[in-house]
């Protein structure tokens, strides 16, 4: 997120709104959780994060 200038609120928006942040598995932002395939697709399409980066 830092590399492309995103804030947590930007992530929430891409995931469907501020209320959806609570839907993220615990710890994703601090590296302790994993993204689901559905989350990766949303981030790729809405924030233009390369799919390869999300899968790595």
Structural domain count, the chain: 1
Q: How far apart are CA 36 and CA 25, in angstroms?
A: 9
How much is the average pLDDT of 22-47?
74
Give the pLDDT of residue 14.
Answer: 73
Q: How far apart are CA 36 and CA 46, in angstroms?
A: 15
**35: containing domain:** 2-55
Those residues with Cβ within 8 angstroms of residue 50's Cβ, 6 or more apart along the chain or in another chain = 44
How much is the average pLDDT of 9-29?
64
- Of the pLDDT bands very low, low, confident and very high (cuts 50, 70, 90), residue 20 is low
Q: What is the 3-state secondary structure (H, E, C) of 1-56?
A: CHHHCCCHHHHHHHCCCHHHHHHCCCCHHHCCCCCCHHHHHHHHHHHCCCHHHHHC
Give the pLDDT of residue 3.
Answer: 78
27: pLDDT strictly greater than 70: no
């Amino acid at each position: 997120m830092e590399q492309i200038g995103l804030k947590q609120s930007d992530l929430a928006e891409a995931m469907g709104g501020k209320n959806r942040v609570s839907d993220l598995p615990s710890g994703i932002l601090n590296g302790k959780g994993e993204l689901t395939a559905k989350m990766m697709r949303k981030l790729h399409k809405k924030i233009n994060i390369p799919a390869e980066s999300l899968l790595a």
